[in-house]
Chains A and B, each alone.
Chain A
Amino acid sequence: MTTGLTRQFPGGVGLDSLSIDVAPGEVLALLGPNGAGKTTTVRLLNGVLAPDAGSATVLGLDPVTAGDELRARTGVLTEHAGLDDRLTARENLRYAAMVRNLRGPAIESRIEELLHRFGMTERADRLVRGASTGQRKRLGLARALLHDPDVLFLDEPTSGLDPTATRDVVELIGSLASEHGRTIVLATHFLGEAGRLADRMAVLDRGSLIAFGRPDDLAAELWDGMECDLDLGGSPSAAAIDAANAVSGVRDTTPHARGITIRVSTPDVVAGVVRSLVAHQVDVHAAVPRPPTLEDVYFEIEARRALETPTTTPPPTGPPAPPPMRKRVRT
């Protein structure tokens, strides 16, 4: 989908040599802190910004040369939902439809349907001015879906939402993702929603791609084996810890208030550990595997990156900074 996509701004690099691909029907999460380059990526992919270097192909189209054609088939929920406060919810949708050259009874009923689906029927004829952030995001989503786009870009769809509104919006996005093979690119700094929705994640930091892949695959690269939590009904004895450590395939044990967390090379090692504990008269109440969450993966990536890159800036008299690292990750 992209190769070496780069965009600089007067203040510095917005995005450096991004190379990623997205399969049709996939949900890709663009993860990263503020200023990572998520919005810049969305703008480049939808042909709103032009790259300084590199190229992209979206739906088989080049965003630079066929931007208008491409944008007719993509929908975007921007960071600020971008609704006109001085219009009603319905007027905002009608306006967006006309800008897309959509008129007539078909689009009117589509608007009606979307207002209903997004719980905005009640508010349809009131000015957007008084709407809550959650209502705005939902209306923004409805607008992004007016023309039933093949690719949906969602930029921070849950920022500024309370927990209930967040859950509603995440559920809506989940239902959109399962609709007829629509591709979704979800830019966010919230790991929770990315974990719930994304098939793959691209982690960005200061314009550079630092990881790209399925959370499971990334976890496998980061850690050896899997974690399992053993509930022993209380603090483990030294003998119990030794018994667990003695089993071959156990990499690591961490005692805690209700038992031990073990790291094992393969899942079947867990059974051996349980047998060994029972043989030592230690009751095992439960053995719960703990596959790493997207959150675990993300923080591990961040932590490792912090170790790699020195935090001190070179003195101004020093040699010029080395050229930015070029990353190319493909799956």
Chain B
Amino acid sequence: MSRQRTDWVAVRGVVGKDLRAVRRSKSVVIPMLAVPVLLMIVLPAVIGLSARATEGVGVDRLLTSIPGDLAEPILSLPEREQLIVLVNGYLLAPLFLIVPLMVSAVLAADAFAGEKERKTLESLLHSPIRARDLFVAKFLTAFLPAVAVSWLGFVAFAIVTNTIAWPVMHRMFVPTKLWMVMILWVAPAVATLGLSVMVRVSARTSTSQEANQLGGAVILPLIFLAVGQSTGLLLVDTPVAIAIGAVIWAVALVLLRGGVKRFTRDALVAQV
């Protein structure tokens, strides 16, 4: 294998074109913004407001089903702070991973399968761009916005949560350590996982919609399993989150390596 340098002009050309084109298709942009807004702004705001309105909702019953040492930090808080810390500090953190996952999967489907669907792949393959550079470009097309949306979403979340919870908490309690791990370590891993699944799925489908459906069928059960497990039991504390992130990174990178190997002109054009 030749170790040639990446042609960044070509990579930027592809990424720039993809993002410009995606910005112009409402059917891609709207769901990509709606989900983060719902998860990162609307939901925490509703929780915060209801925590302010009510006098200490009984969270103890929920917390008794949780291993003592994990529930400890929450039970030791004043009663009216418990709901908001439980939900906005802990429960939302795993749920938040849907954002990088969805954004990267949708963009990857558009970048890989969409290129076939629009019949633009063949002319691209007839250009001198190296297959590996093309792969890098397509990776960045999905990865960068996924991480950017996640981080911006998180900033919005932190502002909304801290503002609304101020009368209850009288302090800034987000970001927590758990949130930092989620944002900086787990979210990029999940984005990579989503797009590496899509790379593989896109090789077998001819439209981005099919890719989304098939990809969704692969990814969503895993997500619900993970989210259900972790929120239900509140198992996710910081070390566990770090470990989960490491596992996701490992799976994603293995999938991605396989995807790069199969990403040759010959294989791509045979699918056209």
Residue numbers of A with Cβ under 8 A of B are 9, 43, 46-50, 67-72, 74, 76, 78-87, 91, 95-101, 103, 140, 143, 153
- Answer whether residue B80 sits at the interface, using C-beta atoms and an 8 A cutoff: no
- Docked CA distance A136–B9 (Å): 25
In chain B, positions 213-272 with a C-beta closer than 8 Å to chain A are 265-266, 269-270
Task: List B residues 129-155 near A (Cβ within 8 Å).
Answer: 129-130
Q: Could you show 23 A-B contacts with beta carbons less than 8 Å apart?
A: A43-B269, A47-B265, A48-B122, A48-B125, A48-B126, A48-B265, A49-B265, A49-B266, A70-B128, A76-B126, A78-B123, A80-B119, A82-B119, A84-B21, A84-B118, A84-B120, A86-B20, A87-B17, A87-B21, A99-B124, A99-B127, A99-B129, A100-B10
Which residues in B have some Cβ–Cβ distance to A below 8 Å?
A: 7, 9-10, 12-14, 16-17, 20-21, 24-25, 118-130, 265-266, 269-270
Nearest A residue to B266 by beta-carbon distance?
A50
- Distance A214 CA – B120 CA, assembled complex (angstroms): 34
Alpha-carbon gap, A175 to B122, bound state (A): 26
Q: How far apart sit A71 and B147, CA to CA, in the bound complex (Å)?
A: 34
Pick the contact of B13 from A71, A95, A143 — CB < 8 Å? A95
Contact of A96 among B127, B269, B270 (CB under 8 A): B127
Contact of B10 among A46, A85, A99, A140 (CB under 8 A): A99
Partner of A83, one of B7, B120, B127, B129: B120
Known: A71-B126, A99-B124, A99-B128. 6 other contacts (CB 8 A): A76-B123, A84-B21, A84-B120, A96-B127, A99-B10, A100-B129
Number of A-B pairs, beta carbon distance below 8 Å: 90
Cβ A98 vs Cβ B123 within 8 A: no
Contact A87 B20 (CB under 8 A): yes
Q: Shortest distance in angstroms between B263's beta carbon and chain A's nearest beta carbon?
A: 14
Given the known interface contacts A67-B265, A85-B118, A95-B17, the answer about A101 and B126 at a Cβ–Cβ threshold of 8 Å is no
Measured between beta carbons, the chain A residues less than 8 angstroms from B12 are: 98
Q: A98-B9, A98-B12 are in contact. Are A78 and B266 (CB under 8 A)?
A: no
Is A101 touching B7 in the complex (CB atoms < 8 A)? yes
> Are B128 and A72 within 8 A (Cβ)?
yes
Given the interface contacts A68-B130, A76-B126, A99-B124, does A9 sit within 8 Å of B17 by beta carbon? no
Give the distance in Å from the alpha carbon of A236 to the alpha carbon of B136 in the complex.
75
Q: Which residue of A lies closest to B123 (CB)?
A: A82
| Interchain nearest-CB distance for B240 vs A (Å) | 42
Closest residue of chain A to B22 (Cβ to Cβ) is A86
Do B126 and A46 touch (CB < 8 A)?
yes
By a CB distance below 8 angstroms, the chain A residues around B118 are 84-85
Q: What residues of chain A lie closer than 8 Å to B128, measured between beta carbons?
A: 68-72, 99-101
Chain B's nearest CB lies how many Å from the CB of A54?
15
Question: In whole Å, how far is A71's beta carbon from the nearest beta carbon of chain B?
Answer: 4
> Across the interface, which residues of A come within 8 angstroms of B20, CB to CB?
86-87, 91
* Bound-state Cα–Cα, A101 to B130, Å: 12
In the complex, what distance in Å separates the CA atom of A140 from the CA atom of B122? 12
List chain A residues, Cβ under 8 A from B129: 68, 99-100
In Å, the complex CA distance between A91 and B20 comes to 10
CB distance A82 to B265 under 8 Å? no
Distance of A231 from chain B, by nearest CB (Å): 50
The 8 A-B residue pairs with the shortest CB-CB distance in the complex, in nearest-first order: A98-B13, A82-B123, A80-B119, A86-B21, A76-B126, A71-B128, A72-B128, A95-B17
A10 to B158, CA, bound (A): 55
Select from chain A the residue with minimum beta-carbon distance to B25: A86
B226 to chain A, nearest CB (A): 34
Measured between C-beta atoms, what is the minimum distance from A80 to chain B in Å? 4
- Alpha-carbon distance between A3 and B85 when the two chains are bound, in angstroms: 73
Are A81's CB and B21's CB within 8 A?
Answer: no
B17 contact set on A, CB distance < 8 A: 84, 87, 91, 95, 98
Q: How far is A47 from B128 in the complex, measured between Cα atoms in Å? A: 10
A164 to B248, CA, bound (A): 58
Chain B residue numbers with a CB within 8 Å of A91 are 17, 20
Min CB–CB distance A13 → chain B (angstroms): 14
Smallest Cβ-Cβ distance to B13: which chain A residue: A98
Which of chain B's residues have a CB closer than 8 A to the CB of A84? 17, 21, 118, 120
Chain B residues positioned under 8 Å from A96 (CB to CB): 127
CB distance from B109 to the nearest CB of A (A): 15
Which of A9, A80, A95, A97 has a CB less than 8 Å from the CB of B270? A9
Known: A46-B126, A49-B265, A72-B128. A98 touches B25 (CB 8 A): no
Complex alpha-carbon distance, A46 and B127, angstroms: 9
Contact yes or no, B10 A82, CB < 8 A: no
Query: Which B residues lie within 8 Å of A74 (CB)?
Result: 126
B144 CB → nearest A CB, Å: 17
A103 to B9, CA, bound (A): 8
Please tell me if the beta carbons of B269 and A48 are within 8 angstroms of each other in the complex. yes
| Closest chain A CB from B16 CB (angstroms) | 7
* Residues of chain B lying within 8 A (CB to CB) of residue A83: 120, 123
| In the bound complex, CA of A98 to CA of B120 (Å) | 16
Q: Tell me which residues across on chain B come within 8 A of A143, comparing CB atoms.
A: 123
**CB closest chain-B residue, reference A64:** B266
Query: A85 to chain B: which residues have CB within 8 Å?
Result: 118
Query: How many angstroms from the CA of A87 to the CA of B20 in the assembled complex?
Result: 8
Residue of A nearest to B23 (CB): A86
**Beta-carbon nearest neighbor of A86 in chain B:** B21
| Interface contact A81-B123, CB-CB below 8 Å | yes
Q: Smallest Cβ distance from B176 to chain A, in angstroms?
A: 41
